[in-house]
Amino acid sequence: MSPMTALSWVLPHRLLSAIARAAAYSTRPWLKQALIDTVTRRFGVDLDEAAQPDPTAYPTFNAFFTRALKPGARVPDPDPRALLMPADGRISQLGRIEADGRIFQAKGRSFTAAELLGDAEAALVFAGGNFATVYLSPRDYHRVHMPWTGTLRQTVHVPGRLFSVGTDAVRSVPRLFARNERLVCHFDTDFGPMASVMVGALLVSGVETVWSGVEIPDYADEIVRKDWRGHGIVLERFAEMARFNYGSTVIVLLPPGAATLAPGLAAETPVRLGQALAHRCGN
């Protein structure tokens, strides 16, 4: 465990994230430009593919961080049976959800779908299915899109800590993704249920959806469920679903028999929005 990860056990996560959020939304020219220039230089951000390639044109650091891409910068896999990668980034882990609902995090580390979703009953349908955990780095496009067409059924805001989701924390912090504050989005699809989980992290804890705007913060002290049935919120395959106001991780859960994971994907594999995540089974 790195010194920073060890220190994060005692840091005031929400306070530090609130300070970082204030800086990210600041319109002070010197501050927002210093943040933009630092991230662009340190992480090698490619602004040529951004809809607005001029780094000085963004009113805030958050506007830069959640920047749109030029039309055609990302395209969906042409195979109509392909479920799509929900974001740019790299695979943290992916594979089978065990029969007991356990999801692999790192060597010697796992958590359950029930813990992740904050709902043991909702987790049952994913036992024996597949999961993919995608980490978004500061250089990446920070909008999350739909792997497959779905109708929004419910969101669940699960309270938690805000540990880093970097490689060392993933290896060191038990049940990391089931500890951090997160927004679980449940969809109904033509193959059954699908869940996309937006996981917050230290300094990067903002989550915003296309159907209701900012969801996190405010931070939750208890589980908050919102029933969206009957609202007719249908999001098409490849459509934008949500965005991280400052980054983090998205986890997709699929039920058994829905799809087979695309070959060639493994932990640490770099991925891009729209490439094949899995392929639909059956008709």
**Number of Cβ within a 10 Å radius of residue 51:** 10
pTM summary value:
0.94
Residue among 87, 40, 52, 33 nearest 196 (CA): 87
| Residues marked as catalytic | 88, 145, 248
* Omega within 30 of 0 (cis) for the link into 217: yes
Residue pair 216/181 in contact by the 8 Å Cβ criterion: yes
Write the CA distances from 235 to 79, 146, 147, 209, integer angstroms. 19, 7, 10, 12
Tens of pLDDT along the chain (283 residues) come to 666 566 666 667 777 778 878 888 899 999 999 999 999 999 899 999 999 999 999 999 999 999 999 999 999 999 999 999 999 999 999 999 999 999 988 777 889 999 999 999 999 999 999 999 999 988 899 999 999 999 999 999 999 887 777 777 787 788 888 998 999 999 999 999 999 999 988 776 689 999 999 998 888 889 999 999 999 999 999 999 999 876 689 999 999 999 999 999 999 999 999 999 999 997 6
Q: Where are the domains of the chain?
A: 3-65, 82-280
